[in-house]
Protein backbone atom coordinates (compact mmCIF):
# COMPACT_ATOMS: atom_id res chain seq x y z
CA UNK A 1 0.00 0.00 0.00
CA UNK A 2 1.23 3.49 -0.78
CA UNK A 3 1.91 5.98 1.98
CA UNK A 4 -1.13 8.09 3.02
CA UNK A 5 -1.09 11.66 1.72
CA UNK A 6 -0.21 14.10 4.47
CA UNK A 7 -2.87 16.81 4.57
CA UNK A 8 -1.92 19.82 6.66
CA UNK A 9 -4.88 21.52 8.29
CA UNK A 10 -3.59 24.93 9.33
CA UNK A 11 -5.22 27.50 11.60
CA UNK A 12 -4.39 29.99 14.29
CA UNK A 13 -7.39 31.69 15.82
CA UNK A 14 -10.34 30.58 17.89
CA UNK A 15 -13.01 30.66 15.14
CA UNK A 16 -10.87 28.80 12.63
CA UNK A 17 -10.37 25.98 15.10
CA UNK A 18 -14.10 25.29 15.52
CA UNK A 19 -14.59 25.41 11.77
CA UNK A 20 -11.62 23.19 10.92
CA UNK A 21 -12.30 20.55 13.59
CA UNK A 22 -15.11 18.95 11.53
CA UNK A 23 -12.73 18.83 8.54
CA UNK A 24 -10.08 17.07 10.62
CA UNK A 25 -12.62 14.52 11.88
CA UNK A 26 -13.73 13.79 8.31
CA UNK A 27 -10.16 13.55 7.00
CA UNK A 28 -9.39 10.95 9.66
CA UNK A 29 -12.15 8.77 8.18
CA UNK A 30 -11.03 9.23 4.56
CA UNK A 31 -8.90 6.32 3.31
CA UNK A 32 -5.47 7.31 2.00
CA UNK A 33 -5.33 10.67 3.80
CA UNK A 34 -3.62 11.58 7.05
CA UNK A 35 -4.47 14.94 8.64
CA UNK A 36 -1.58 16.85 10.20
CA UNK A 37 -2.53 19.79 12.44
CA UNK A 38 -0.39 22.91 12.19
CA UNK A 39 -1.36 25.84 14.42
CA UNK A 40 0.26 29.25 14.18
CA UNK A 41 -0.86 30.27 17.66
CA UNK A 42 -2.01 33.70 16.34
CA UNK A 43 -4.34 33.40 19.34
CA UNK A 44 -3.05 31.67 22.44
CA UNK A 45 -5.58 31.24 25.26
CA UNK A 46 -8.60 31.44 22.97
CA UNK A 47 -7.17 28.86 20.57
CA UNK A 48 -6.06 26.48 23.30
CA UNK A 49 -9.52 26.35 24.86
CA UNK A 50 -10.99 25.48 21.47
CA UNK A 51 -8.43 22.72 20.86
CA UNK A 52 -9.36 21.22 24.20
CA UNK A 53 -13.10 21.21 23.45
CA UNK A 54 -12.58 19.44 20.15
CA UNK A 55 -9.91 17.17 21.67
CA UNK A 56 -7.35 18.17 19.05
CA UNK A 57 -3.61 18.04 19.56
CA UNK A 58 -1.49 20.08 17.15
CA UNK A 59 1.34 18.20 15.46
CA UNK A 60 3.19 21.50 15.28
CA UNK A 61 2.67 24.88 16.96
CA UNK A 62 4.41 28.05 15.73
CA UNK A 63 3.36 29.95 18.87
CA UNK A 64 3.58 33.39 17.22
CA UNK A 65 1.17 35.48 19.33
CA UNK A 66 2.46 38.67 20.91
CA UNK A 67 0.64 41.26 23.02
CA UNK A 68 -0.94 43.93 20.78
CA UNK A 69 0.38 42.35 17.61
CA UNK A 70 0.67 44.32 14.38
CA UNK A 71 -0.38 42.68 11.12
CA UNK A 72 2.93 43.09 9.19
CA UNK A 73 4.91 41.65 12.11
CA UNK A 74 2.54 38.72 12.42
CA UNK A 75 2.85 38.03 8.69
CA UNK A 76 6.64 38.23 8.91
CA UNK A 77 6.68 35.74 11.78
CA UNK A 78 4.30 33.21 10.23
CA UNK A 79 5.43 32.88 6.58
CA UNK A 80 9.00 31.53 7.01
CA UNK A 81 8.11 29.43 10.05
CA UNK A 82 5.13 27.87 8.30
CA UNK A 83 7.17 27.20 5.15
CA UNK A 84 9.85 25.38 7.15
CA UNK A 85 7.25 23.35 9.02
CA UNK A 86 5.44 22.30 5.85
CA UNK A 87 8.74 21.09 4.45
CA UNK A 88 9.85 19.35 7.66
CA UNK A 89 6.47 17.68 8.10
CA UNK A 90 6.59 16.42 4.46
CA UNK A 91 3.18 17.84 3.68
CA UNK A 92 1.47 16.89 0.40
CA UNK A 93 -1.50 19.25 0.58
CA UNK A 94 -2.59 22.21 2.72
CA UNK A 95 -6.02 23.34 3.88
CA UNK A 96 -6.54 26.85 5.19
CA UNK A 97 -9.76 28.45 6.35
CA UNK A 98 -11.51 31.76 5.79
CA UNK A 99 -9.94 35.16 6.13
CA UNK A 100 -7.56 35.51 9.05
CA UNK A 101 -3.97 36.58 8.74
CA UNK A 102 -3.00 33.00 9.54
CA UNK A 103 -4.99 31.68 6.55
CA UNK A 104 -3.33 33.93 4.03
CA UNK A 105 0.15 33.64 5.56
CA UNK A 106 0.09 29.83 5.58
CA UNK A 107 -1.40 29.70 2.07
CA UNK A 108 1.42 31.93 0.88
CA UNK A 109 4.03 29.77 2.63
CA UNK A 110 2.58 26.67 0.93
CA UNK A 111 2.53 28.44 -2.42
CA UNK A 112 6.20 29.35 -2.07
CA UNK A 113 6.99 25.74 -1.12
CA UNK A 114 5.07 24.59 -4.22
CA UNK A 115 2.54 22.64 -2.14
CA UNK A 116 -1.08 22.84 -3.37
CA UNK A 117 -3.54 24.69 -1.12
CA UNK A 118 -7.29 24.32 -0.76
CA UNK A 119 -9.35 27.16 0.70
CA UNK A 120 -12.17 26.19 3.03
CA UNK A 121 -14.87 28.91 3.15
CA UNK A 122 -13.61 30.37 -0.13
CA UNK A 123 -15.42 33.10 -2.02
CA UNK A 124 -16.98 35.12 0.79
CA UNK A 125 -16.99 38.75 -0.28
CA UNK A 126 -18.20 42.01 1.23
CA UNK A 127 -16.85 43.74 -1.92
CA UNK A 128 -15.24 46.34 0.31
CA UNK A 129 -11.53 46.00 1.13
CA UNK A 130 -11.91 48.20 4.21
CA UNK A 131 -14.78 46.27 5.82
CA UNK A 132 -13.98 43.85 7.21
CA UNK A 133 -10.32 44.87 7.36
CA UNK A 134 -8.01 43.10 6.72
CA UNK A 135 -10.20 40.01 6.21
CA UNK A 136 -11.63 40.94 2.80
CA UNK A 137 -8.06 41.33 1.49
CA UNK A 138 -6.88 38.12 3.17
CA UNK A 139 -9.57 36.00 1.56
CA UNK A 140 -9.14 37.49 -1.92
CA UNK A 141 -5.37 37.06 -1.76
CA UNK A 142 -5.78 33.46 -0.58
CA UNK A 143 -8.21 32.65 -3.38
CA UNK A 144 -5.65 33.85 -5.91
CA UNK A 145 -3.23 30.99 -5.14
CA UNK A 146 -5.43 27.96 -4.54
CA UNK A 147 -5.52 24.51 -6.14
CA UNK A 148 -9.05 23.81 -4.89
CA UNK A 149 -11.81 26.25 -3.92
CA UNK A 150 -14.38 25.14 -1.37
CA UNK A 151 -17.08 27.84 -1.32
CA UNK A 152 -19.73 27.20 1.33
CA UNK A 153 -22.66 28.51 -0.75
CA UNK A 154 -23.81 29.14 -4.30
CA UNK A 155 -23.27 32.87 -3.80
CA UNK A 156 -19.66 32.34 -2.70
CA UNK A 157 -19.14 30.20 -5.79
CA UNK A 158 -20.54 32.96 -8.00
CA UNK A 159 -18.14 35.47 -6.40
CA UNK A 160 -15.22 33.25 -7.35
CA UNK A 161 -16.47 32.77 -10.91
CA UNK A 162 -16.89 36.54 -11.26
CA UNK A 163 -13.19 36.84 -10.35
CA UNK A 164 -12.27 34.44 -13.14
CA UNK A 165 -11.70 31.28 -11.12
CA UNK A 166 -12.26 28.00 -12.89
CA UNK A 167 -15.33 25.91 -12.15
CA UNK A 168 -13.34 22.72 -12.50
CA UNK A 169 -11.75 22.73 -9.06
CA UNK A 170 -14.63 24.31 -7.16
CA UNK A 171 -17.09 22.46 -4.94
CA UNK A 172 -19.90 23.96 -2.84
CA UNK A 173 -19.59 22.34 0.57
CA UNK A 174 -21.84 24.21 3.00
CA UNK A 175 -20.16 25.99 5.89
CA UNK A 176 -18.31 23.89 8.46
CA UNK A 177 -19.52 26.32 11.15
CA UNK A 178 -22.83 24.45 10.98
CA UNK A 179 -21.05 21.09 11.45
CA UNK A 180 -19.24 22.57 14.46
CA UNK A 181 -22.46 23.80 16.08
CA UNK A 182 -24.22 20.47 15.50
CA UNK A 183 -21.28 18.59 17.03
CA UNK A 184 -20.86 20.75 20.10
CA UNK A 185 -24.36 21.93 21.00
CA UNK A 186 -25.24 18.73 22.86
CA UNK A 187 -22.36 19.39 25.24
CA UNK A 188 -23.24 23.06 25.81
CA UNK A 189 -24.77 23.88 29.19
CA UNK A 190 -25.84 27.38 30.19
CA UNK A 191 -23.88 28.75 33.16
CA UNK A 192 -25.89 28.70 36.37
CA UNK A 193 -25.78 32.49 36.93
CA UNK A 194 -27.54 33.06 33.57
CA UNK A 195 -30.40 30.61 33.97
CA UNK A 196 -33.97 31.90 34.12
CA UNK A 197 -33.01 35.32 32.69
CA UNK A 198 -34.01 36.93 29.39
CA UNK A 199 -30.65 37.15 27.68
CA UNK A 200 -29.07 39.20 24.92
CA UNK A 201 -25.65 38.12 23.61
CA UNK A 202 -23.20 40.88 22.71
CA UNK A 203 -19.83 40.54 20.98
CA UNK A 204 -17.72 43.24 19.35
CA UNK A 205 -14.08 43.06 18.29
CA UNK A 206 -13.62 44.06 14.61
CA UNK A 207 -10.56 46.11 13.75
CA UNK A 208 -12.51 48.56 11.57
CA UNK A 209 -14.92 49.12 14.48
CA UNK A 210 -12.18 49.82 17.06
CA UNK A 211 -12.42 53.61 16.73
CA UNK A 212 -16.21 53.45 16.95
CA UNK A 213 -16.21 51.16 19.94
CA UNK A 214 -16.79 53.81 22.64
CA UNK A 215 -19.77 55.09 20.61
CA UNK A 216 -21.15 51.57 20.09
CA UNK A 217 -20.61 50.72 23.75
CA UNK A 218 -22.60 53.85 24.70
CA UNK A 219 -25.38 52.66 22.38
CA UNK A 220 -25.42 49.27 24.10
CA UNK A 221 -25.55 51.08 27.46
CA UNK A 222 -28.60 53.02 26.29
CA UNK A 223 -30.35 49.90 25.00
CA UNK A 224 -29.66 48.13 28.30
CA UNK A 225 -31.00 51.00 30.42
CA UNK A 226 -34.17 51.21 28.32
CA UNK A 227 -34.74 47.43 28.43
CA UNK A 228 -34.23 46.34 32.06
CA UNK A 229 -36.19 43.11 31.35
CA UNK A 230 -33.05 41.76 29.63
CA UNK A 231 -29.65 40.78 30.86
CA UNK A 232 -27.01 41.81 28.29
CA UNK A 233 -24.09 39.37 28.42
CA UNK A 234 -20.88 40.45 26.72
CA UNK A 235 -17.86 38.11 26.80
CA UNK A 236 -15.13 40.63 25.96
CA UNK A 237 -12.38 39.68 23.50
CA UNK A 238 -8.85 39.61 24.95
CA UNK A 239 -7.63 42.35 22.61
CA UNK A 240 -6.57 45.16 25.01
CA UNK A 241 -7.81 47.87 22.62
CA UNK A 242 -11.29 46.36 22.74
CA UNK A 243 -11.22 46.02 26.52
CA UNK A 244 -10.14 49.62 27.10
CA UNK A 245 -13.01 50.89 24.99
CA UNK A 246 -15.73 48.67 26.38
CA UNK A 247 -15.20 48.52 30.14
CA UNK A 248 -15.56 52.24 30.99
CA UNK A 249 -18.89 52.55 29.14
CA UNK A 250 -20.52 49.37 30.35
CA UNK A 251 -19.08 48.10 33.61
CA UNK A 252 -21.36 50.13 35.88
CA UNK A 253 -24.68 49.17 34.26
CA UNK A 254 -26.70 46.74 36.35
CA UNK A 255 -28.12 44.60 33.56
CA UNK A 256 -24.90 44.42 31.51
CA UNK A 257 -22.56 41.61 32.43
CA UNK A 258 -19.01 41.94 31.09
CA UNK A 259 -17.36 38.53 31.12
CA UNK A 260 -13.97 37.10 30.25
CA UNK A 261 -14.04 35.38 26.81
CA UNK A 262 -16.28 32.34 26.87
CA UNK A 263 -15.12 29.04 25.54
CA UNK A 264 -17.04 27.69 22.56
CA UNK A 265 -19.45 25.57 24.62
CA UNK A 266 -20.38 28.41 26.96
CA UNK A 267 -20.74 30.70 23.96
CA UNK A 268 -23.08 28.28 22.17
CA UNK A 269 -25.14 27.84 25.35
CA UNK A 270 -25.38 31.62 25.80
CA UNK A 271 -26.39 32.18 22.18
CA UNK A 272 -28.96 29.41 22.20
CA UNK A 273 -30.57 30.79 25.36
CA UNK A 274 -30.65 34.37 24.02
CA UNK A 275 -33.56 36.32 22.61
CA UNK A 276 -31.20 38.25 20.36
CA UNK A 277 -27.53 38.36 19.34
CA UNK A 278 -25.88 41.73 18.73
CA UNK A 279 -22.49 41.27 17.08
CA UNK A 280 -19.86 42.42 14.59
CA UNK A 281 -18.48 38.89 14.23
CA UNK A 282 -18.45 36.85 11.05
CA UNK A 283 -18.98 33.41 12.56
CA UNK A 284 -21.81 34.39 14.90
CA UNK A 285 -23.90 35.19 11.84
CA UNK A 286 -23.72 31.50 10.86
CA UNK A 287 -23.82 30.11 14.38
CA UNK A 288 -26.77 32.27 15.48
CA UNK A 289 -28.66 31.23 12.34
CA UNK A 290 -27.83 27.56 12.99
CA UNK A 291 -29.23 27.93 16.52
CA UNK A 292 -32.39 29.69 15.29
CA UNK A 293 -31.61 32.93 17.15
CA UNK A 294 -32.07 36.36 15.49
CA UNK A 295 -28.82 38.23 14.82
CA UNK A 296 -28.26 41.98 14.50
CA UNK A 297 -25.00 42.60 12.66
CA UNK A 298 -23.15 45.78 13.67
CA UNK A 299 -21.48 46.25 10.31
CA UNK A 300 -22.17 48.18 7.12
CA UNK A 301 -21.66 45.20 4.84
CA UNK A 302 -21.67 41.45 5.30
CA UNK A 303 -19.90 38.75 3.33
CA UNK A 304 -22.68 36.42 4.53
CA UNK A 305 -25.78 38.03 2.95
CA UNK A 306 -27.56 34.65 2.67
CA UNK A 307 -28.86 35.12 6.21
CA UNK A 308 -30.16 38.61 5.41
CA UNK A 309 -32.08 37.18 2.43
CA UNK A 310 -33.32 34.18 4.42
CA UNK A 311 -34.39 36.47 7.27
CA UNK A 312 -32.16 35.43 10.21
CA UNK A 313 -29.89 38.49 10.08
CA UNK A 314 -30.45 42.23 10.12
CA UNK A 315 -27.62 44.45 8.95
CA UNK A 316 -27.59 47.46 11.29
CA UNK A 317 -24.56 49.49 10.16
CA UNK A 318 -21.73 50.29 12.55
CA UNK A 319 -22.90 53.67 13.86
CA UNK A 320 -24.74 54.02 17.16
CA UNK A 321 -27.83 55.63 15.65
CA UNK A 322 -28.55 52.86 13.13
CA UNK A 323 -27.68 50.05 15.57
CA UNK A 324 -30.14 51.57 18.03
CA UNK A 325 -32.85 52.00 15.37
CA UNK A 326 -32.64 48.34 14.32
CA UNK A 327 -32.16 46.78 17.76
CA UNK A 328 -34.59 48.68 19.95
CA UNK A 329 -37.80 47.48 18.18
CA UNK A 330 -36.48 43.92 18.09
CA UNK A 331 -35.93 43.95 21.85
CA UNK A 332 -39.45 45.17 22.43
CA UNK A 333 -41.42 43.03 19.98
CA UNK A 334 -41.34 39.23 20.17
CA UNK A 335 -43.23 38.93 16.87
CA UNK A 336 -40.40 40.69 15.07
CA UNK A 337 -37.87 38.34 16.68
CA UNK A 338 -39.90 35.21 15.95
CA UNK A 339 -40.07 36.15 12.27
CA UNK A 340 -36.25 35.88 12.23
CA UNK A 341 -36.16 32.33 13.62
CA UNK A 342 -35.83 30.51 10.31
CA UNK A 343 -35.92 26.75 9.68
CA UNK A 344 -33.80 26.13 6.59
CA UNK A 345 -30.22 27.14 7.22
CA UNK A 346 -28.81 28.93 4.16
CA UNK A 347 -25.23 28.35 5.33
CA UNK A 348 -24.94 24.58 5.56
CA UNK A 349 -26.38 21.19 6.49
CA UNK A 350 -23.73 19.84 8.89
CA UNK A 351 -21.98 17.69 6.27
CA UNK A 352 -19.47 20.23 4.98
CA UNK A 353 -16.52 18.46 6.63
CA UNK A 354 -17.32 15.22 4.79
CA UNK A 355 -17.56 16.97 1.43
CA UNK A 356 -14.25 18.73 2.02
CA UNK A 357 -12.42 15.52 2.96
CA UNK A 358 -13.89 13.82 -0.10
CA UNK A 359 -12.86 16.74 -2.32
CA UNK A 360 -9.26 16.46 -1.14
CA UNK A 361 -9.31 12.70 -1.72
CA UNK A 362 -10.72 13.40 -5.19
CA UNK A 363 -7.72 15.66 -5.95
CA UNK A 364 -5.48 12.61 -5.30
CA UNK A 365 -7.69 10.26 -7.35
CA UNK A 366 -8.80 8.46 -4.17
CA UNK A 367 -12.53 9.28 -4.31
CA UNK A 368 -15.30 10.52 -6.57
CA UNK A 369 -15.79 14.24 -6.95
CA UNK A 370 -18.35 15.25 -4.26
CA UNK A 371 -21.62 16.80 -5.39
CA UNK A 372 -22.25 20.48 -4.74
CA UNK A 373 -24.35 21.25 -1.67
CA UNK A 374 -27.57 23.07 -2.48
CA UNK A 375 -29.31 25.27 0.06
CA UNK A 376 -33.09 25.42 0.35
CA UNK A 377 -34.48 28.73 1.50
C1 LIG B 1 -8.50 37.75 14.58
C2 LIG B 1 -8.84 37.74 13.08
C3 LIG B 1 -10.32 38.02 12.91
C4 LIG B 1 -11.18 37.08 13.73
C5 LIG B 1 -10.72 37.17 15.19
C6 LIG B 1 -11.52 36.23 16.09
C7 LIG B 1 -6.99 38.55 11.67
C8 LIG B 1 -6.38 39.69 10.97
N9 LIG B 1 -8.10 38.80 12.40
O10 LIG B 1 -8.71 39.08 15.05
O11 LIG B 1 -10.64 37.84 11.54
O12 LIG B 1 -12.53 37.48 13.64
O13 LIG B 1 -9.34 36.83 15.26
O14 LIG B 1 -11.18 36.44 17.44
O15 LIG B 1 -6.49 37.46 11.56
N16 LIG B 1 -5.39 38.02 22.33
C17 LIG B 1 -4.92 37.38 23.45
N18 LIG B 1 -5.16 36.03 23.57
C19 LIG B 1 -5.86 35.33 22.66
C20 LIG B 1 -6.36 36.00 21.53
C21 LIG B 1 -6.11 37.34 21.35
O22 LIG B 1 -4.30 37.99 24.30
O23 LIG B 1 -6.06 34.11 22.86
C24 LIG B 1 -5.12 39.49 22.16
C25 LIG B 1 -3.67 39.81 21.87
O26 LIG B 1 -3.34 40.96 22.56
C27 LIG B 1 -3.66 40.09 20.37
C28 LIG B 1 -5.02 40.74 20.21
O29 LIG B 1 -5.88 40.00 21.07
O30 LIG B 1 -2.61 40.95 20.03
C31 LIG B 1 -5.58 40.72 18.81
O32 LIG B 1 -5.49 39.41 18.25
P33 LIG B 1 -5.32 39.22 16.65
O34 LIG B 1 -5.28 37.79 16.32
O35 LIG B 1 -4.21 40.09 16.16
O36 LIG B 1 -6.64 39.86 16.09
P37 LIG B 1 -8.15 39.59 16.45
O38 LIG B 1 -8.74 40.93 16.68
O39 LIG B 1 -8.32 38.53 17.48
Domains 5-175+348-363 and 191-339 share a fold: yes
Is there an atom of ligand 1 within 6 Å of 43 CB? yes
Q: Where are the domains of the chain?
A: 5-175+348-363, 191-339
pLDDT given at position 377: 73
From first to last of its 377 residues, what are the pLDDT tens digits of the chain? Answer: 689 999 999 999 999 999 999 999 999 999 999 999 999 999 999 999 999 999 999 999 999 999 989 999 999 999 999 999 999 999 999 999 999 999 999 999 999 999 999 999 999 999 999 999 999 999 999 999 999 999 999 999 999 999 999 999 999 999 999 999 999 999 999 999 999 999 999 999 999 999 999 999 999 999 999 999 999 999 999 999 899 989 999 999 999 999 999 999 999 999 999 999 999 999 999 999 999 999 999 999 999 999 999 999 999 999 999 999 999 999 999 999 999 999 899 999 999 999 999 999 999 999 999 999 999 87
Is 121 known to be catalytic?
A: yes
pLDDT given at position 68: 87
Is 287 known to be catalytic?
A: no
pLDDT given at position 1: 66
Of all protein residues, the one whose alpha carbon is nearest to atom 13 of ligand 1 is 13
Is 354 known to be catalytic?
A: no
CATH fold of 191-339:
Rossmann fold (3.40.50)
Name the residue of 102, 239, 282, 283 whose CB sits within 8 Å of the most ligand 1 atoms, as the mutation to test its pocket: 239
Name the residue of 15, 65, 124, 262 whose CB sits within 8 Å of the most ligand 1 atoms, as the mutation to test its pocket: 65
pLDDT given at position 376: 82
Is there an atom of ligand 1 within 6 Å of 45 CB? yes
Of all protein residues, the one whose alpha carbon is nearest to atom 29 of ligand 1 is 239
Is there an atom of ligand 1 within 6 Å of 15 CB? yes
Predicted structure pTM score: 0.96
3-state per-residue secondary structure call for the chain: CCCCEEEEEEECCHHHHHHHHHHHHHHHHCCCEEEEEEECCCCCHHHHHHHHHCCCCCCEECCCCCCCCCHHHHHHHHHHHHHHHHHHCCCCEEEEECCCHHHHHHHHHHHHCCCCEEEECCCCCCCCCCCCCCHHHHHHHHHCCCCEEECCCHHHHHHHHHCCCCCCCECCCCCHHHHHHHHHHHHCCCCHHHCCCCEEEEECCCHHHCCCHHHHHHHHHHHHHHCCCCEEEEECCCCHHHHHHHHHHHCCCCCEEEECCCCHHHHHHHHHCEEEEEECCCHHHHHHHHCCCCEEECCCCCCCCHHHHHCCEEECCCCHHHHHHHHHHHHHCHHHHHCCCCCCCCCCCCCHHHHHHHHHHHHCCCCCCCCCCCCCC
Catalytic residue among 131, 135, 263, 354: 135
Please give the class, per CATH, of domain 5-175+348-363: alpha beta
Amino acid sequence: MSKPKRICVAFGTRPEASKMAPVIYALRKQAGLEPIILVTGQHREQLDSMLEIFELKPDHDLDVMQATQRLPDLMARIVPEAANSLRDLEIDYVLVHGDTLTSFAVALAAFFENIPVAHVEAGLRSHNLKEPFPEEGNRKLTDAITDLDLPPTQLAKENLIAEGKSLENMIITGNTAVDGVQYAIQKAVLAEHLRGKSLVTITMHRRENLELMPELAACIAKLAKENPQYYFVYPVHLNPVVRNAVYPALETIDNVLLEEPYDYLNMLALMQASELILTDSGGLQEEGTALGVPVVVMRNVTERPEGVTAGSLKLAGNRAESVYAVTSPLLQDATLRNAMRIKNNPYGDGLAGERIAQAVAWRFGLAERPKDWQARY
